[in-house]
Amino acid sequence: MRAGAPEEILFVSKPHIGTFRLTGIVEKMRAEIIALGGDVRFESKVTDVLIENNRIEGVTLESGETLHSRHVVLALGHSSRDTLRMLEKRGVFLEAKSFAIGFRIEHPQSLVDRARFGRFAGHPELGAADYKLVHHASNGRAVYSFCMCPGGTVVAATSEPGRVVTNGMSQYSRNERNANAGIVVAINPEPDFPGGPLAGVALQETLESQAFDLGGRDYCAPGQLVGDFLRGNASTQLGEVQPSYQPGVRLGDLAPSLPAYAIDAIREALPMFGRQLAGFDRDDAVLTGVESRTSSPVRITRDAESLQSLNVRGLYPCGEGAGYAGGILSAGVDGIKVAEAVARDLA
C-alpha cells in the first residue's frame, strides 16, 4: 500500500488495482528501488547470456554492453520468444508445458450482475459481478473461463507484426459496459504440440498469424456471435453487444482459427455455461479471437530447493514467462521466493 495500492488488497479475496492505477504504483516502486541503490535501465534489451563452465557470468545487452554477475534473475514475460530461442541456443534447459487457447467472450455487465446477484444487481456495495466457469467436454478437453474482467475491455496484446492476440483488462472502477473473459481449452505438449521445448511457441505463432489473416490483415480481430458460432454460421451483423476491442472486430467464422478439438469443446461448453449463468450463451454475445497467451508454453526448469536453472548455476528463472506463475499475484509471490533464494546463496 505504501506505493499507492488501495487498502482492500490486504483482505479482499480477489485483489484488484486496475491498469491505470498500477502504472503509478510501479513508478513509485521504481523510485524506491533507485533510492535504495538499485539501477533501472530502459531500452536495455538482453540479447545473450554469458555462461562459463555451467555457471552464469552475466548478460549482453543489445547495445553491446556486458553486465557481469554470477547471479541473474530471469523474470521475462510469457511473450519473450526471442529470449527463449536464445536460451535454447545457449543450451539452458527448457521444457514444453501445458497452456490454453481460445477466445474472449463479451456480455453486457448488467447480464452478469443479474445472473449473479439477482434482485440486488446494481447495488453500489456489490459492484460489478464476476464469474468462474468450467466444463469437461466429451472429447476429454477442459474448457474454462480465464482472466475474467468485470466492467472491462478486450485489448490487443500482440507483441509481433502480422499477428493478432486478445487479452482483457479492467480499470479500478470496473464501470465499462461489458464484461469479458477468456473461454479457453487446456492443451498439452503431448499430443497437441509435440516437437521440442519451443513447439508451443510455434503453435501460438501459427494461431496468431491465422487470426491476423481472418481479421483482415489490418490488426482488427476476427469475431463471431455466439449463436452463429454454435450453429456453424459466419456472422455478418452485430446485435446488442458491441465489442470493445480496438482497432475493431471483423465478423466472420472463427472455426478456422483454432484446432477442431478446441472448437468442438467450446461449442459444447457454451450452452453448459448458459445453464450455470443465465444468458451466457445468448445469441448476440461476441467471441473475439484469439486468446493464445494464457500462460507461458515453456518452463525454464529449475531446482526445487535452490530455484536455480537445472544446468546453469546462478541463473534464477522467475515468474510467469519462466513457467512458474499464472498471473500478477502468483508472479509476485514467485519473485519473493526467488529473491530469498538469491539472498541465501549470497549469505
pLDDT digits (tens, 9 = 90+) for 126-148: 999 999 999 999 999 999 999 99
Nearest-CA neighbor of 108 among 177, 35, 43? 177
pLDDT at 79 over 90: no
Q: Give the whole-angstrom CA distance, residue 329 versus residue 326.
A: 8
* Mean pLDDT score of the chain: 95
Please count the other Cβ atoms lying within 10 Å of the Cβ belonging to residue 65: 10
Instruction: Give the per-residue pLDDT at 54.
Output: 97
- Taking the model in full, what pTM does it have? 0.92
pLDDT, tens digit (0-9, with 9 covering 90-100), for 5-14: 888 777 776 7
pLDDT at 18 over 90: no
Burial class from Cβ neighbours inside 10 Å (0-12, 13-18, 19+) for residue 68 reads exposed
Q: Where are the chain's structural domains?
A: 41-93+299-346, 98-291
Is domain 41-93+299-346 given the CATH code 3.50.50.60 in the classification? yes
The pairing of beta strand 221-225 with beta strand 249-251: parallel
Q: Give the whole-angstrom CA distance, residue 331 versus residue 322.
A: 10
The pairing of beta strand 72-74 with beta strand 66-68: unpaired
Handedness of CA 204, 206, 207, 213 (dihedral sign): positive
Radius of gyration of the chain (CA): 22
